[in-house]
Structure 1
Amino acid sequence: MGILYGAAAGALWGTVFVAPALGSDFTGLQLAAGRYLVYGLVSALLLVPRWPQLRGWMEGTHRRALVGLSLLANIIYYVALATAVQWGGVAMASLVIGFLPVAVTVVGSRAAGAVPLPRLAPSLLFSAIAIVCIGGQALTGGGAFEWRRAAGFLCAVVALVSWTIYALRNARWLHRLPQVSAHDWNLLTGVVTGALSLLLVPAALYFDTATHSAGAWTRFAAISAGMAVFASILGNGLWNRMSRLLPLTLVGQMILFETLFALVYGFLWEWRMPSVAEWIAMACVGLSVVTCLHAHRR
């Protein structure tokens, strides 16, 4: 069930790589602010009947943890990711986020009871091959080096670091709080994220010099609502359920599903078939997960 939850979360999260392309006339700050304002509002509404039971255990330590996790997983991560997609393309962002399994797996291998790194070597090797296959194409776009794509690459690296830290800290907090359901923890994160996103609104409006039509704002609202409900509410909830069922080294490998689905959605958006290198990359993604599952067999 943990593996199925991880795959479903990846399928939902993969949509956020296409959303910046759909809303290319809006900035990454605006997309993040819109998405997380809706996320916070929906989370607050769903949390109302649950709040009397939850406030009994809430302490200052938990509130500070939720603020930190919200910044890492949502605000910092998605502002950087959306900017990376708009400046470098879906393949660029997918490539860099593809390093997440390697980063989380390597760091998670230090946890108590984790599978040792030597047993994970085949899985990490397949991950590395998948990343290298689309590396050159993602950085150059098939032509000469471009500074805008390089800046997008740096934004994607920021997203990578932010989400790696989040994945590890969030899994540890979920194990520390067995009395709190994964769904409630996600809703609490959503409320805090929504409050933090209010700080993005002034900057999002100030740095946008373009004039948008009523139709463009309607499309923006639909994109924000779609990302909030499908990626943040449903996707994060599935991810939290998975984080409780799987060890950290296997949690890292589940992020590969996000990369795989992001590539598939990107190909559909561009209405083209994958290149040979991209076929090899997707095959290696699947082999990476399979070999990691084999390493975790008792």
Structure 2
Amino acid sequence: MWIGTLYALAAGLMWGLVFVGPLLVPEYPAALQSVGRYLAFGLITLPLAWWDRAALRRLHRADWIEALKLAAIGNLLYYLCLAAAIQRAGGPLPTMIIGTLPVVIAISANLRNHQRDGRLPWRKLAPSLLLIVSGIACVNRVEWEALRSAPGADPMRYAQGALLALVAVACWTWYPLRNADWLRAHPDRSPRTWATAQGVATLPLALLGYAVLWVGMVASGSAFPMPFGPRPWAFIGLMAAIGLFASWLGTLCWNEASQRMPTALVGQLIVFETLAALAYAFMLRGQAPAPLTMLGIGLLVAGVMWAVRVRPEPAAAEGHAA
């Protein structure tokens, strides 16, 4: 359990990087950032795929189709919506909305996977969920007030950002549930191999997306300098860093956690991503969190610490008790 928690913590620390990436290159379209990140991810996995080629050959056609679905929705579509949301509403609002993922995933998994994983009793799960929701509410209150006081704020643009962030939440509620389904159904397969397989599946999608975007910009007469934009080395370096750390290593660590822990529990540990994103955002701003934000972070951590102590009850025992 604790090894799985440490893997989830490592994944969260690396995934937090994706919230500051769009702020570092704000002049780059969200679609270009999405295909650029996953093009880097796919290229990074090619030598890894060669090294792991024996294990990859054991994957069947259905496995590759599943990896393609996970890559399309959990990678490309998720990050496209997230990057667009951050560009429209700034960093805080999407972080606030994505911060609800621990609660959304925990509830979804508890309703969906209790026959396989056992059910985390609601009466025991409720305190951790309440702590997490309270912590998110505290952080949200501070960030929302800052958002409202920003000069020249465009409510419609912020609304668009909020809607895109909600779509990102939907994508990443679906992704860990389906990803965990595959991992739990294949306990003999390496989480590293599955992370690499998703990278290989992402590569053709990213290449196609990059080509379509490039042709579309040329056809529309866009002044944006393709293929790497006005700051090519900054863009390439950022995409390579996010592709390596947030995509491959983050996915590897999350797969390790998902194979060790019930889905309803590991879903709550995505709170580490929210904490990391907030920490990076404040570092980028060069300011310390407000007292209410610190209280919220403390509540989030307390909720996670409570959650890892909860053990699932087998479905049979639950039915007998009923």
TM-score range, shorter chain: over 0.9
In structure 2, give the amino acid aligned to 1:240.
N
In structure 2, give the amino acid aligned to 1:142.
R
Alpha-carbon distance in 2 for matches of 1:251, 1:293: 9
Residue 220 of structure 1 corresponds to 235
1:6-85 to 2 correspondences below 5 Å: 6-55=8-57, 57-85=58-86
* 1:179 corresponds to 2:191: no
Which stretch shifts more, 178-187 or 128-137?
128-137
Displacement of 1:295 in angstroms is 2.1
Q: Determine if contact 1:139/1:153 at 8 Å carries over to the other structure.
A: no
Among residues 149, 153, 156, which one is paired with 2:165 in the alignment?
156
Give per-residue Cα distances to partners, 1:131-189, cap 9 Å, x unaligned.
22233554560336711111111111111000110001101100111222000000000
In structure 2, give the amino acid aligned to 1:163.
W
1:1-298 to 2 correspondences below 5 Å: 1-55=3-57, 57-110=58-111, 111=113, 112=115, 113-136=118-141, 138-139=143-144, 141-143=147-149, 146-205=155-214, 206-207=216-217, 209-211=223-225, 216-296=231-311
Q: 1:198 to 1:246 in 2, by over 3 A?
A: same
With structure 2 as the length reference, what TM-score do the two structures score?
A: 0.87
Q: Determine if contact 1:32/1:79 at 8 Å carries over to the other structure.
A: yes
Q: 1:145 to 1:127 in 2, by over 3 A?
A: farther
Q: Determine if contact 2:224/2:230 at 8 Å carries over to the other structure.
A: no
Q: 1:139 to 1:148 in 2, by over 3 A?
A: farther
- SS state at 1:133 partner: helix
Give per-residue Cα distances to partners, 1:26-58, cap 9 Å, x unaligned.
011111111111111111221113223431x32
Q: Determine if contact 1:114/1:247 at 8 Å carries over to the other structure.
A: no
Which stretch shifts more, 137-146 or 246-255?
137-146
How much is the aligned-residue C-alpha RMSD, in angstroms? 2.0
In structure 1, give the amino acid aligned to 2:181.
R
Aligned residues: 297
Give per-residue Cα distances to partners, 1:100-140, cap 9 Å, x unaligned.
10011001113221312221101111121122223355456
Give per-residue Cα distances to partners, 1:178-230, cap 9 Å, x unaligned.
22200000000001111111222134333564348976011000010000111
Alpha-carbon distance in 2 for matches of 1:138, 1:148: 16
Alpha-carbon distance in 2 for matches of 1:16, 1:292: 25
Q: Determine if contact 1:108/1:114 at 8 Å carries over to the other structure.
A: no
Unaligned runs of at least 5 residues, structure 1: none
Residue 317 of structure 2 corresponds to none
- SS state at 2:77 partner: helix
With structure 1 as the length reference, what TM-score do the two structures score?
A: 0.93
Q: 1:273 to 1:142 in 2, by over 3 A?
A: farther
In structure 2, give the amino acid aligned to 1:42.
I
Q: Determine if contact 2:99/2:274 at 8 Å carries over to the other structure.
A: yes
Q: 1:251 to 1:147 in 2, by over 3 A?
A: same
Alpha-carbon distance in 1 for matches of 2:119, 2:26: 42
Displacement of 1:294 in angstroms is 2.4
Q: 1:150 to 1:209 in 2, by over 3 A?
A: farther
Q: Determine if contact 1:133/1:277 at 8 Å carries over to the other structure.
A: yes
Which stretch shifts more, 262-271 or 126-135?
126-135
Q: 1:199 to 1:215 in 2, by over 3 A?
A: closer
Q: Determine if contact 1:77/1:159 at 8 Å carries over to the other structure.
A: yes
Displacement of 1:62 in angstroms is 1.1
User: Which is greater in Rg?
Assistant: 2
- Runs of 4+ in structure 1 off by over 4 angstroms are 136-140, 211-215
Q: Determine if contact 1:174/1:243 at 8 Å carries over to the other structure.
A: yes
Alpha-carbon distance in 1 for matches of 2:50, 2:257: 25
